[in-house]
Structure 1
Amino acid sequence: MDNQETTPGPATRFSLRPALPGELPAAESMSRDSMASYRATRGVAWDTERFRQSWRDFENLAIVEGSQCRGFIRLMPEGEALAIRDLQVDPAFRGRGIGSWSIMQAMEMAASRGYRSVRLRVYPENPAMALYSRLGFEVDHEEDSVVHMHWRRALSPDAGSCASPSDGPPESGATGQENPCPASVK
């Protein structure tokens, strides 16, 4: 994957890089703070050791703008899918397309690594559900107040790859047909 991908904005450039060990506290703080209301509603306390174990188990990527870290996306293989296990954007930089861009990067990474789908979980009251739906994710099921969603890439009949990787972001047209391929971001 090219580390100089661009966002929909003309001048803003984001990239992904492996998170540094020293970034664990910032990633934990972002995750703990942004998920606090969801955990409080469910009576679930923050578990630092669980987060730190997941930091060891997941692929942790920093979302970078220039030289500044703007958030983290954390991935993990789950069978034939690549799972987005955590996506956090610094609150000061939300609303700039960083989350959308990061999800499309995960979709691109899944396709390039041979995964047929991307999975994620989200609380039903989380406004990010609308973003995931816009990007082509569909609800699998809801379990224990968590919505399980997936995105599947379209396969070309001959190559077993995304049928039209440069058609742009997934979107629904008036016909209701979706383009399930990630945007070309190179």
Structure 2
Amino acid sequence: MSSRFALCPATAADLPFARDLTRSSMLRYYICNDLLWLDEAFDVAWAGRENLLICQDHQVLGFVSLSRDLRALYIRELHMLEAWRGQGAGAWTLAQVLLMAAREHLGLLRLTVFKGNPAQRLYERQGLRVVGEDECFWRMERSSFVGPGEACRLS
């Protein structure tokens, strides 16, 4: 994985970027699944999460939004600008989040993904497996245990 990427803390000033990127990336899934997108709901969720920008040098490529409970680190949002999809930044981000979960002694990394979202293939390549489903989502997870050889590959 490339070290050319970095995770930088997001601020309140980054909220419009994150909201707009999420809406533009996910609106078609909301429409197909007869769900209602609400900017206000995104804003409330943003305020209660750890939000990190995915950067290269001084350029923002996307963001990841995280929450935790006693057992797991949850990826609530992971979105890349279209020009950066397929360039390795998403896989790098997943690896970094997995290392965060391991360092925090949280046993699982979890996320949900819309059924039909091609990002599911990326998650599967990173070791996440489908463990359940809702009407329009797959629930995915993997153990955050990082073995000796895997730690070298992920960092």
**Is the TM-score greater than 0.5?**
yes
Deviation by residue 1:132-163 (Cα, 9 ceiling, x = unmatched):
11111011111122100001033xxxxxxx33
Matches of 1:68 and 1:153, distance apart in 2: 29
Q: How far did residue 75 of structure 1 move?
A: 0.3
1:38 aligned counterpart, secondary structure: helix
Q: For residues 184 and 81 of structure 1, do their structure 2 counterparts lie closer, same or farther at Cα, with a shift above 3 Å needed?
A: same
Q: How far did residue 43 of structure 1 move?
A: 1.5
Which residue of structure 2 aligns with residue 109 of structure 1?
Answer: 100
- TM-score after normalising by structure 2: 0.94
- TM-score after normalising by structure 1: 0.79
Which residue of structure 2 aligns with residue 184 of structure 1?
Answer: 154
Which residue of structure 1 aligns with residue 6 of structure 2?
Answer: 15
Matches of 2:120 and 2:35, distance apart in 1: 21
1:99 aligns to 2:69 (yes or no): no
1:114 aligned counterpart, secondary structure: coil
The number of residues matched between the two structures is 155
Tell me, which stretches of 5 or more residues in structure 1 are unaligned? 1-6, 155-161, 169-180
Contact 1:107/1:182 (<8 A) preserved:
no
| Aligned with residue 35 of structure 1, among 22, 26, 29 | 26
Identity among equivalent positions (%) equals 34
Q: How far did residue 34 of structure 1 move?
A: 0.3
Which residue of structure 2 aligns with residue 175 of structure 1?
Answer: none
**Greater share of residues in helix:** 2
Which residue of structure 1 aligns with residue 125 of structure 2?
Answer: 134
The structure, 1 or 2, with the larger RCO (C-alpha pairs under 8 Å, 6+ apart) is: 2
**Greater share of residues in strand:** 2
Which residue of structure 1 aligns with residue 61 of structure 2?
Answer: 70
Segments of 4+ moved more than 3 angstroms? 181-184
Which residue of structure 2 aligns with residue 52 of structure 1?
Answer: 43
